[in-house]
Amino acid sequence: MAWEKEIAKLAELVRRDNCNVVVMAGAGISTACGIPDFRSPGTGLYHNLAKLKLPYAEAVFDVDFFRENPKPFYTLASELYPGKFAPSKFHLLLKLLQDKGKLKRVYTQNIDTLERQAGVEADKVIEAHGSFAENHCIDCGKVFEMNVFKKKLEEYNAAAKNAQNDDLWTRCDECEGLIKPRIVFFGENLPKRFFDTWDDDSEELTKLGKKSNTVVIVAGTSLTVYPFAMLPEEVDKHTPRVLVNRECVGDFKANPRDSDIVLETSADDVAQKLVEELGWEEELQTLMTEHGTAENKDVRDELDAIDKKIAKEEEKTVKEEVDTTVSSLTAELGKLGVEDKESKKSLPEKKPNTSK
């Protein structure tokens, strides 16, 4: 594969003395854990939320809709809540980079907290869209620990068996407002920490210029959601950028740089090849055993295979239906005495009788 040849370039950047790695991650680093991303046709979370009969898919993350009807979000939270999924190889690569003193920061769009579960220190993780790690009241803003919402969610799911859970919402002990995980909903601002930290990090990169030993790895994101998508655009021109994604996207596609490295494959594929290049295989395997990380292919590979199989079966079925219909119509036309033009063409031409 062409992308494998580029791994050596990335490994060389990481090997440098005092190398700092800044990671910008999206849902694609978690698909191998069994967590679907949001926007993939047919398999994304928004597609699968259709069963909740929302006015529109994104309503599940709309703070005004949540205020009126918390049930869809509770349903989604039950599926995604931390503890149900093990970190992927790529998450564990972040932990290895940290252990080697090379991880500066992880900017993530993900709300699943898998970076933290992999062992990445909280001060290195910037959750641009929030996460399940904290809760807050949507009215007065009071902050609550993670277990407050978790406990109520467990009560909600237990009561669901008796269909008596429609009023089991988590409420603030001061104003009775609804409590939800500190995930950024539509209508809410991104965390101030996201902007402040990026201002500091990007300013440092600009000041260092050619002296910087930083490499920026952008992984598993479509780079379509702003302001997160602006981050790679604002990376200093002297800082190498690496894209790990199934296709070239965002600023890597619109404004490619000569120093860019583009690896069009899954995040776990890159994690595996990179640790092999760096000689960290045993350490990765140890972490995988500790965290229960399965040696599975990215679930999207399996979904792609299923989609192709379904498409092939559908094509076969349609052809059979068309052939059957044509045969039936031909038979009916024959009964009515209507000639088949194609059949007529194949008959020998009748010559006029010239005998006297």
Residue pLDDT, tens place only, 265-288: 999 999 999 999 999 999 999 999
Mean pLDDT by 10 residues, the chain (356 residues): 86 95 96 74 59 78 91 85 91 98 97 94 95 92 91 86 75 93 89 96 92 95 94 96 96 97 96 97 96 66 46 56 70 64 46 47
What's the sign of the alpha-carbon dihedral 176, 177, 181, 182?
negative
Q: Which of 91, 129, 136, 291 is catalytic?
A: 129
Mean model confidence pLDDT for the chain: 84
Residue pLDDT, tens place only, 203-227: 999 999 888 899 999 999 999 999 9
Instruction: Enumerate the known binding-site residues for Zn(2+).
Output: 137, 140, 172, 175
Angle between helices 267-278 and 89-99 (to 10 degrees): 40
91 is catalytic: no
Instruction: Enumerate the known binding-site residues.
Output: 27-31, 37-39, 109-112, 137, 140, 172, 175, 221-222, 245-247
Residue pLDDT, tens place only, 145-180: 989 999 988 888 888 766 666 678 999 999 999 999
pTM for this entry? 0.77
Instruction: Enumerate the known binding-site residues for NAD(+).
Output: 27-31, 37-39, 109-112, 221-222, 245-247
Rg (CA), the chain: 28
